[in-house]
Amino acid sequence: MPQAVRKAIFPVGGLGTRFLPATKAMPKEMLPIVDKPLIQYAVEEAQAAGIEDFIFVTGRGKHAIEDHFDVSFELDTMLRERGKNDMLSAIRSWMPSPGQISYTRQMEPLGLGHAVWCARHLIGDEPFAVLLADDLVLSQTACLKQMVDVHGEIGGSVVAVVDVPREHTDRYGILDVGNDNGRLASVTGLVEKPKPEDAPSTLSIIGRYILQPEVFDHLDKQEKGAGGEIQLTDAMAATLGTNPFHGLRFEGRRFDCGDKAGFLEATIAFALSREDLAMDVRKIIKSYTDT
């Protein structure tokens, strides 16, 4: 039986330049979708998948993330004294327990592969998950939970995938696919950001991974790939053949919140999914579309 996935890495060291000036003094991972920051959605998704250890790979100016995942005694006391128990629950009920969160620094912005490598000593010799907060998934069952369930059945590495327009393959890591039953595809190769004419498929990896510790053997080499960065995709490709590797077409809708339009779409979609907001949001949308 495959070893359980207990640990997750959250690379949060990026500068978020596409959202300037909002991210000048605020980490992009703290940008809110409705009333929760992106990074909280990612952590709650990991919790739903049974993750026990949460590892943040941070950089300069990311103290707001650490503060968000800490107790605010003054705020807690004020809410308790005023009888605002619902609000108190909203800021405490999802918090990981003391000792479950670790932080390590990515001292240079050398790519996603480098960020994951920075957490190697906290992972050790066991499978682990990687979640990119920029990718937000709205689903009945948490995306990572779907992946953990698949991993429990077949082991190896599992990545979440979506089909993208061929003209967009140069934005993503693309799979070369063997057997494909429409839900689960065996991976025979991976290419980082190939030109549309060179892409082996249109099946793209999004920011959800379950990986085997062998990937660190290849990240240790610090080899640079596309864009002059240390690419996680290249290290994953180097592990092919040593363990099963599959792409999962998950149930749910993915939003690219690293893009302004995707961020706005996610805000609307998540608001519409909530009973307390859906009616008002529909009225607002209608007031603009009717003019």
Distance from the Cα of residue 133 to its chain's centroid: 4
Residue % of the chain over a pLDDT of 70: 100
Assign 281 a pLDDT band (cuts: 50, 70, 90): very high
Tell whether the model's pLDDT for residue 290 goes beyond 90: no
Task: Give the model confidence (pLDDT) of 29-41 as tens digits.
Answer: 999 999 999 999 9
Task: Give the model confidence (pLDDT) of 130-143 as tens digits.
Answer: 999 999 999 999 99
Q: In the prediction, which pLDDT does 110 show? A: 86
The more confident residue out of 280 and 76 is 280
Task: Give the model confidence (pLDDT) of 47-64 as tens digits.
Answer: 999 999 999 999 888 899
Can you tell me which residue has the tokens 């308790």? 80
Q: In the prediction, which pLDDT does 126 show? A: 95
What are the chain's domains? 7-258 (3.90.550.10)
Q: In the prediction, which pLDDT does 170 show? A: 87
Task: Give the model confidence (pLDDT) of 262-276 as tens digits.
Answer: 999 999 999 999 999
Two tokens at 144? 């990572």
Tell whether the model's pLDDT for residue 92 goes beyond 90: no
Two tokens at 219? 């990240």
Q: Using CA of residue 142, residue 8, residue 211, residue 202, what is the dihedral sign?
A: positive
Tell whether the model's pLDDT for residue 291 goes beyond 70: no
Tell whether the model's pLDDT for residue 69 goes beyond 90: yes
**Closest to 188 in 3D by CA, of 196, 200, 198:** 200
Residue % of the chain over a pLDDT of 90: 64
Cα–Cα–Cα angle for 177, 205, 143, rounded to 5 degrees:
110
Q: In the prediction, which pLDDT does 248 show? A: 96
Task: Give the model confidence (pLDDT) of 144-180 as tens digits.
Answer: 999 999 999 999 999 999 999 999 898 888 898 888 8
Task: Say whether the peptide bond before residue 21 is cis (omega within 30 degrees of 0).
Answer: yes
Bridge partners of residue 276, in order along the sequence = none
Q: In the prediction, which pLDDT does 241 show? A: 84
User: What are the phi and psi torsion angles at 201 (to 5°)?
Assistant: -165, -175
Q: In the prediction, which pLDDT does 286 show? A: 92
The more confident residue out of 223 and 50 is 50
